[in-house]
Chain A
Amino acid sequence: MTAGNISVSETPLVLYTLRRADDALILGHRLSEWCGHAPMLEEDMALANMGLDLLGQARELYSYAAKVEGRDNDEDKFAYLRDVRQYRNLLLLEQPNGDFARTMVRQFFYAAFADLYWRVMMRSTDATLAAIAAKSEKESAYHLRHSSEWIVRLGDGTEESHRRAQEAIDLLWAFTGEMFEVDDSERGLIDAGIAVDPAPLRAQWMKRITGVVAEATLTLPNNGWMQQGGRSGRHSEHLGHLLSELQSMPRTFPGATW
Chain B
Amino acid sequence: MATPTIIPLWEVFIRSRNGLAHKHVGSLHATDATLALQAARDIYTRRGEGLSIWVVPSNAITASDPAEKGMMFEPAESKIYRHPTFYDVPEEVGHM
Contact = CB atoms under 8 A, between A and B. Distances in A.
Interface string B54-94: 00000000000000000000000000000000000000000
B57 to A, nearest CB: 15
A42 B28 contact: yes
A226 interface: no
A46 interface: yes
Given A40-B7, A42-B42, A49-B46, A153 B1 contact: no
How large, as a class, is the contact surface on chain A?
A: 10 to 19
Interface residues of B, number: 15
B35 A149 contact: yes
Nearest to B5: A158
Contacts, number: 32
Interface string A29-62: 0000000010111110110010000000000000
B31 A42 contact: no
B42 A149 contact: no
Nearest to B3: A40
Given A49-B42, A153-B35, A42 B29 contact: yes
A146 interface: yes
B25 interface: no
12 contacts: A42-B30, A42-B43, A43-B39, A45-B39, A45-B42, A45-B43, A46-B39, A49-B46, A142-B41, A146-B38, A149-B34, A153-B31
Interface of A: 37, 39-43, 45-46, 49, 142, 145-146, 149, 153
